[in-house]
Each structure stands twice: as structure tokens, then as C-alpha cells.
Amino acid sequence: MRHPEEYRRRLTRALHHLLRHLAQPPSLSEVAAVACFSPYHFHRLFAAVMGETLAEYGRRLRLEWALFRLLDPSRPSVAQVARELGFASPQNFAKSFKQFFGHTPSQIRACGALTRVRQLLTAQAPGPWLTSLDQRGPLAVPLPQPSGDHPMDVTLVQRPSQLLAYIRVAGPYAQTMPAGFERLGRWSQARGLCDGDWLALYWDNPEQTPEDQLRADVALSVPEGTQVGGEVQLQTLPAGTYACYRCRVTDGDFASPWQALFGQWLPDSGYQPAEGPCFEQYLNDGRESGIWELNIFTPVKPLTAEAL
């Protein structure tokens, strides 16, 4: 089994499912099930491989197919196209369409042919809509690109279970997590527990979840028998097989290593995401320098060829 091809096969199934349900866009859980991935990891994998979130892709696909239908002379009106694709009203459709393409549905319809539409659209700045007008078509899944001259430092590790003291934070990561670590740091200093592993566990994806609802745990490994209370609680990070990517973060760009792990390494690895949280382990304090050395972990299991 060629590992990238298996990922492409699964993601292609997901894209076709989206295409078959343009008028009633399916949920993340439904699309993830079609692709045989867990919803928790699927949104990150999809964005890393496709270069846009599932919601962004679904919106683009819906509007691109609206463009094709506008050029179909058998469809007598813009309102009919809006109804066929499940828009709340022709006005709602026209607003979304113009925001995306920079032209009204009537202007596109007046072009009469796809070649003239391409001429109209390429006269302005290139946009993501070009992916549906080029030779690949709207349902192409790109194979992962090699990491170039700097191969990724990824290893498979068997981690034992680990007891963590943690504080759950909710809201924009850039605001809530530093404050959470400050509070956990004061708690640990008072108890002489600062020498454990400092971790961040992520429960939501900022590309899918409203910023004020993002949840994460700032955490510190602690010995058995540690007493906690108040906002500091205990949880056990489960044992298992994890992909560990040793990386460096500068300028606060913590997203790029995750995108590389899911979009480049994972599809070619022979593994797929397993149940369990993704997390970061901080190897230094980069608050002053802006340079963070860290390991990022995601649970994995062997990749299998899922039946259609």
C-alpha cells in the first residue's frame, strides 16, 4: 500500500461526499467518518493537506458549482441556482457570491461561457477560485510535498502514562495560555514541583472553533500523590504510540509545525492519527528570546486500507 495514496483516497471520498451534499453541507463528524478518521484529528489533517479548512473548502466548492450552474442555459434564473444549492434566499446567495468572486451572479451569467468567465476573473488578482477552473478540477487532493533540504526530525515513541496537574483555559490562545502558565507556575513554585514536563494540550482547533470558545490545558507532570485544588486539577495523559516532532518556533508561529506534521510527514509515514489529544512539550522558556524549542506529539496507529 502506498501511504500517500491511501490518504488521498480517503480525502477524495470526503470531497465527493461534500459535492453530493452541496445544498445541505454535512457536519465535520459526518465527513470525518466518510474518510475513516476521527473528527478530533480530521480537521487538522484536512487543513494541512488541502491548504484550507473543511468549512472554507465546502464554502468554496458550493460557490464554484454555483458558478458552473449559472452558465447552464437549462437553469432559467439566479434564484433557481440559489435554491438548488440550499442558500437561504437569492439575496443571501448574491451577497456570498460577490464577496467570493468580486462579481454578481448576473454578471457571471452574462458571460455565457467558461472561457469568458476565466478572462473576467483573471483580470483581477488571482484567487482560490482558480483551483476549480484549472485542469485539476475541484476534487483534486494534492500529495504531500517533501520537506526539502531540512528533513523533519520526527520519531515514533512509546510514552508511558503521565500524571498531570493542569489548568483549563478558554478563549484566545495567545491571551489565555500565557496567563494560565503564569498561574500554574506560581502554584508549582509554592510546592517545589517546577522540574516536571511543561505541556499544553489542545482540545479545539482555532480554524473551526470560535476564538472565545477555544479550550486548552496548561499542564505540568507531577508525582503520584500530588494534592490539588481550586482551578488546578489532575488528569492522566494516556500511554501509547506517539509521533514526536522536535522543532523550533519563532515569531509565535506555533501553527506551522503542526501543519508540517499533519500535511507532510503523516501521509507518508505509514501511520494515521489515533484517539487522544495532541500536545506540546516545552523544552525551554522562550518568553524573552521569542525562540521556543519544543516537541509536539500526536497519537498514531498503523495505517490500514479502509474499505469503500
Torsion of CA 168, 207, 15, 245, to 10 degrees: -70
Domain that holds residue 266: 154-302
Q: What are phi and psi of 234, to 5 degrees?
A: -110, 145
Q: Binning pLDDT at 50, 70 and 90, where does residue 128 land?
A: low
DSSP bridge pairs for 218: 167, 200
Residues 166 and 120 in one domain: no
For residues 107 and 174, state if they share a domain. no
Flag whether 174 is in a domain: yes
Tell me the residue ranges of DSSP E strands in the chain: 154-159, 162-170, 198-202, 215-221, 233-237, 240-250, 271-273, 278-282, 291-302
| Residue count of the chain | 308
Q: Given its phi and psi angles, is residue 143 left (phi above 0), alpha (psi -120 to 50 degrees) or beta?
A: beta
Looking at residue 118, its pLDDT comes to 81
Domain-located, residue 149: no
Q: Kindly state whether residues 161 and 117 are assigned to the same domain.
A: no
On whether both 174 and 36 belong to a single domain, the answer is no
Whether 25 shows a pLDDT value over 80: the answer reads yes
Same domain, 179 and 83: no
- Give the position of cell 464554502: 59
- Is 58 found in the same domain as 116? yes
Average confidence score pLDDT of the chain: 87
DSSP letters along 157-191, please?
EEEPPEEEEEEEEES-HHHHHHHHHHHHHHHHHHH
> pLDDT by residue (tens digit) across 49-86?
888 889 888 998 899 889 988 988 887 789 999 999 99
CA 42 to CA 264: how far, in whole Å?
Answer: 15
Structural domain count of the chain? 2
Contact between residue 198 and residue 281 where contact means Cβ atoms under 8 Å apart: yes
**Nearest to residue 162, comparing CAs of 196, 191, 127?**
196
Domain edge (last residue) among 133, 163, 179 = 133
CATH code of the domain containing 189: 3.20.80.10
Kindly state whether residues 192 and 295 are assigned to the same domain. yes
Give strand pairing partners of 299: 242
Q: How confident is the model at residue 122 (pLDDT cuts 50, 70, 90)?
A: confident
Tens digit of each residue's pLDDT (9 = 90 or more) over 148-198? 555 789 999 999 999 999 999 999 998 999 999 999 999 999 999 999 999
Instruction: List pLDDT tens digits, range 239-281.
Output: 999 999 999 999 889 989 999 999 899 998 999 999 888 999 9
- The CATH number of whichever domain residue 17 belongs to comes to 1.10.10.60
Residue 1 has pLDDT above 50, yes or no: no
Q: Is residue 139 part of a domain?
A: no
Does residue 118 fall inside a structural domain? yes
User: Do 228 and 118 fall into the same domain?
Assistant: no
Buried b (16+ CB within 10 A) or exposed e, 279-289: bbbbeeebeee
Residue 159 lies in a domain: yes
Residue 120 lies in a domain: yes
Whether residues 159 and 275 fall in one domain = yes
Asked, for residue 80, whether it belongs to a domain, the answer is yes
* Helix, strand, or coil (residue 45): helix
Q: Same domain for 298 and 165?
A: yes
In a domain? residue 138: no
Distance, in Å, from the CA atom of 28 to the CA atom of 122, rounded to the nearest integer, reads: 32
Paired residues of 272 in beta bridges: 301
